[in-house]
Amino acid sequence: MRVAVFSAKKYDQDGFGQWADSSLKFSYFESRLSQDSVKLAQGCHAICAFVNDDLSAPVLKQLSELGIEMIALRCAGFNNVDLDTAKELGIRVARVPGYSPEAVAEHTLAMMLTLNRKLHKAFNRVRDDNFALDGLLGFNMYGKTVGLIGTGQIGLATARIIKGFGCKLLCYDVKQNSELTEHYTSLDQLYQQSDIISLHCPLTPQTQHLINEQSLAQMKDGVMLINTSRGALIDTKAVINSLKSRKIGYLGLDVYEQEADIFFEDLSEQMIDDEVFKRLLTFPNVLITGHQAFFTKEALQQISQITSDNLLAFAGGQKSGNELVN
């Protein structure tokens, strides 16, 4: 079975080479899947796509014309896929619903601690032989109220770590997890009472720009906001205004609404034309990482193995249980 892998990096090739079934024949392409690059899938039976690949209706129709019958997402999110069109075209879509949720949860806590204790600034100071503590004052996590929006596998893993710090935990989700029953509250109360808010919900039409001018107005002055989920959960311009007004005291982003043309690439020798993103980088209380929360050895192994299983199930006329479209 021939599979075209888009947005492929060396670590993707290493991962599939080490952990995917040897019967699968992968062709790797660094380019993102788009209407311009879709022709690279010619001669393949399936494609493997990532978070920023374009799987809109026009691209899906071109894939269908090339004979592609299966889309294997090597990620949990699927907001970039037109599932209705895939179903109409008879293209199966499967994802990796859970891969090392602890990886994202631990990165979330790393961002909280880095922003709080200003570890990134301290690191640079010490390298310059500056050991002064001025400007590095943090706060105790113990006793603070942390609000988690989304309590799926990643939210639950984050909650378990948060409890270990002795924080008060508030949770919101349309589908509650029995392990966290006592911690659920309304979204309004979570906004109003939390010292730290962390996003772990999927991107849907209902959650797009969940963090906006109105929700930000309800939050505590100086709130810490962390997003390791999907960039479009946040209205970035509203967040910039809240940074300027000091409503947001700390902002940690591993995702960005317009990240598709920025993240996963080395742009150090180029000019970035995104003025909103560049404005974010000017704030001293903003920490941005390039969609790396998932990036651990354990997560890559699970992604490779589950993606392989999804492809093998399709090739064998079976279901893996991870299908979004059968």
Residue 209 designated active-site: no
What residues contact residue 223 under an 8 Å CB cut-off, 6+ apart? 194, 195, 196, 197, 247, 248, 249, 250
Residue 230 designated active-site: yes
Residue 259 designated active-site: yes
Q: How many Cβ atoms from other residues are within 10 Å of residue 14's Cβ?
A: 12
- Minimal CA–CA distance to 311: which of 19, 161, 95? 95
Q: Is 142 helix (H, G, I), strand (E, B) or coil?
A: coil
Out of 117, 291, 298, 323, the active site residue is: 291
- Minimal CA–CA distance to 198: which of 240, 156, 138, 258? 156
d(CA 39, CA 151) in angstroms, rounded, equals: 39
252 and 245 in contact (C-beta within 8 Å)? no
Task: Tell me the β-bridge partners of 224.
Answer: 196, 250
Out of 259, 265, 275, 298, the active site residue is: 259
Out of 102, 230, 275, 298, the active site residue is: 230
219 and 226 in contact (C-beta within 8 Å)? no
CA angle in degrees (0–180, nearest 5) for 16-51-302:
35
Catalytic residues: 230, 259, 291
